[in-house]
């Protein structure tokens, strides 16, 4: 399975999920999201008790994650063990990885910042972050892009590759279903607090090891950041997101986090690192760290595959 993870990582970095294909065949995650949204509308009705909504959320989580794992198992069985089948599995596995798309989206932000077009830079970063971007200055845009780059390195690269190596295609598909469910319903607002409880807890558990691995890879690739990561990671509200973000802040010697606005509401967030606010040059450096961290992940996958020969 480590061979499958390595093949999928290399293949996805090379071809990604082309826009032309996306326009014709929506990404599989879109189908998972549609299923979760449909179950939420049907089962998470406000007139139901909190206990009933939590139980329904557990059932929805089990259906979506279990269904994704079964789909992965069926695909693995159908592919067989031959070279063509394994190649098909690697191609399927690329749909759960986001090395190429993450790099391309952050590169679009960097290009606009370096060109001095703040309006376009805000639009570009708005495609990868959930915060309000209208009032961000150039440093705020660079910080938002770096935070997204670091956190998504775990969610979109390390964690999917980890579960692919551990559990094959069923493990990868289950992780992507859980992670998508958490992003849609795993919130603390009253509407989702009970219904999304199971998805949020499962996502925390499945990211526990990968997030710390992601932070370590960033620190290794960046030639530093260990002290900042170990000191600041636990400040984050999430038990996992702080590890890669704090590592990136430390590796670049910049300050990430801090207050941000979401849907017009100002939210006070912890600070990671002690340096200055990042700029476009730091975003370029951060992308270099990201590419290096991806390369280290490839080496880990290759080493694991070699040991299992």
Amino acid 222: pLDDT: 97
Within the chain, which residues score under 70 in pLDDT? Answer: 1, 17-27, 308-309
pLDDT of residue 31: 79
DSSP the chain: -HHHHHHHHHHHHHH---HHHHHHS--HHHHHHHHHHHHHHHH--TTS-HHHHHHHHHHHHHHHHHHHHHHHHHHHHHH-SSHHHHHHHHHHHGGG--HHHHHHHHHHHHHHHHTT-HHHHHHHHHTT--S--TT--HHHHHHHHHHHHHHHHIIIIIHHHHHHHHHHHHHHHHHHHHHHHHHHH---SHHHHTTTHHHHHHHHHHTHHHHHHHHHHHHHHHT--HHHHHHHGGGSSSTTTHHHHHHHHHHHTB-EE--EEETTEEE---EE-SSBPP-HHHHHHHHHHHHHHHHHHHHHHHHHHHHT-
Q: How much is the pLDDT for 122?
A: 97
Q: What is the pLDDT of residue 253?
A: 97
| Per-residue pLDDT, 241 | 94
Domain span holding position 275: 2-307
Specify the number of domains making up the chain. Answer: 1
Predicted local distance difference test score (pLDDT) of residue 271: 95
158-168 pLDDT tens trace: 999 999 999 99
Task: Give the pLDDT confidence score for residue 29 in this predicted structure.
Answer: 79
User: pLDDT at position 298, please?
Assistant: 97
């Amino acid at each position: 399975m480590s061979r499958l993870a390595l093949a999928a990582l290399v293949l996805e970095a090379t071809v990604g999920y082309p826009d032309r294909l996306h326009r014709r065949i929506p990404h599989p995650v879109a189908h998972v999201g549609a299923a979760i949204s449909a179950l939420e509308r049907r089962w998470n009705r406000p007139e139901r008790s909190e206990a009933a909504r939590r139980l329904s959320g557990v059932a929805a989580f089990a259906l979506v994650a279990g269904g994704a794992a079964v789909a992965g198992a069926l695909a693995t069985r159908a592919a067989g063990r031959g070279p063509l089948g394994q190649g098909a599995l690697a191609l399927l596995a690329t749909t759960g990885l986001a090395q190429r798309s993450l790099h391309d989206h952050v590169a679009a932000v960097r290009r606009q910042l370096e060109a001095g077009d703040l309006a376009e830079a805000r639009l570009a970063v708005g495609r990868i972050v959930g915060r309000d971007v209208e009032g961000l200055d150039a440093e705020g845009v660079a910080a938002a892009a770096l935070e997204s780059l670091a956190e998504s390195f775990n969610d979109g690269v390390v964690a999917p590759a980890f579960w692919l190596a551990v559990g094959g295609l069923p493990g990868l598909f289950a992780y992507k279903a859980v992670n998508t469910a958490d992003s849609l319903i795993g919130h603390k607002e009253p509407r989702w607090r009970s219904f999304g409880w199971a998805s949020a807890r499962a996502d925390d558990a499945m990211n526990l090891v990968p997030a710390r691995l992601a932070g370590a890879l960033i620190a290794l690739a960046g030639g530093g950041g260990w002290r900042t990561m170990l000191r600041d990671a636990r400040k984050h509200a999430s038990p996992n997101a702080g590890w890669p973000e704090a590592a990136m802040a430390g590796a670049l010697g910049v300050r990430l986090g801090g207050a941000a606005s979401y849907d017009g509401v100002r939210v006070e967030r912890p600070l990671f690192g002690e340096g200055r606010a990042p700029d476009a040059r730091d975003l370029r450096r951060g992308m270099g760290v990201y590419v290096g961290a991806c390369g280290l992940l490839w080496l880990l996958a290759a080493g694991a595959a070699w040991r299992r020969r």
